[in-house]
Copies of this chain bind each other. A is one copy, B any other.
Amino acid sequence: MVTIKDVAAHAGVAFKTVSRVVNNDPTVKPVNRNKVLASIAALDYRPNRAAQMTRRKKSGVIGFIADELLRVPYTFDLIRGAQDLAWKNNKELMVLNVNVDKYSIEGAINHLLGHRAEGIIYAAMYHREVELPQQLTPIPTVLANCFDASGRFASIVPDEKEAAREITAKMLNKGYRRIAFLNLNENIIAGQQRKAGAEQAFAEHKGKDCELHIESVIIDDGANERSVTRLRAAELIQSFKPDAILCGQDPMAVEVYFVVQSLGLKVGEDIGIGSFDDWDIIPTLLKPELTTMALPHYDMGQWAINYLLNERTDLVSQTAKFNLINRDSF
């Protein structure tokens, strides 16, 4: 590989001058700068990043530990948000997938420590509490889509409650009066907080004759989860007679669309449907297209890396707002 010395010899200057040109040192005389630039181009020279890092004693590496991420498609936006900004700031985002079967968090941290990572983003697949090894402490760390029990780290999580309040309020404002909210499992944070948000919207709404029915249709029988969405949607349409159904996540909306159609009803006409997540192509695959609250993963990824780039150390608990994606289902 061509080195700084090869370029220097080719250009007829000291190799230190080449270094100056490479690092945009303005003190280089234009004549020399041009000679060097020409030689760099001629030899196709590129500074060796590893050597730069060694000498500078700065790695330029930011670690991204993705805990069980990427089993859900849109979570990749967390990485994308971080990566875009890392790139702009000349940092290397080193992404490590971690999961119970294969790679331990400890392994990932060791790896990043070996690379002298300047910061770490730890991201979870779904909004939850995490417990991180003590080992992390030497490196500035920020959590995305999760928060820690011990309060050692800054974190950003989606504002579940506000999202549910917003979409429920929107339904009420459109004139829907009887809303059935087929919620996620209420053991998880999204389930709990969205319930509270929907209730708040009803409490704030002045209209009368409004009724809210909330129930969890993701059943957690020990090891795995199963959905009773189809069953309960069908039953509720007969009994509770909702004019709108709010679904805990877009895949549930698919199930509800099938039920609605099977009962001879039309989404968006006989019954409104709303949802959460903006899950991959699902919302636009459905007809009418699904109005849903998009998770702010991209924003959270950006916020997290900005926190590190700005060398913040305050222990904020930040929330990120969902984006209402207005389509045609209610």
Chain A residues close to B by CB (< 8 Å) = 1, 46-51, 53-54, 57, 59, 70, 73, 76, 80, 83-84, 87, 92, 94-95, 97, 102-103, 110, 113-116, 230, 251, 254-255, 257-258, 261-262, 280-281, 285, 287
A258 to B, closest residue via Cβ: B261
Residues from chain B with Cβ under 8 Å of A76 in the complex: 70, 76
Q: Could you pull out 12 A-B pairs where Cβ atoms are within 8 angstroms?
A: A46-B114, A48-B114, A49-B114, A50-B115, A73-B280, A95-B95, A251-B281, A251-B285, A254-B254, A254-B285, A255-B285, A258-B261
Q: What is the minimal beta-carbon distance from A50 to any residue of chain B, in angstroms? A: 4
Q: Is the CB of B102 within 8 A of A84?
A: yes
Known A251-B281, A254-B285, A280-B280; contact A115-B261, beta-carbon cutoff 8 A: no
Q: Which residues of B contact A87 (CB under 8 A)?
A: 103
Residues on the B chain within 8 Å of A255, using CB? 285
Interchain CB contact (< 8 A) of A113 among B46, B57, B281:
B46
Which residues of B are found within 8 Å of A261, using beta-carbon distances? 258, 261-262
CB distance from A44 to the nearest CB of B (A): 8
Q: Top 10 nearest A-B pairs by Cβ distance?
A: A73-B73, A50-B53, A54-B54, A51-B54, A50-B54, A46-B114, A49-B114, A50-B50, A49-B115, A46-B113
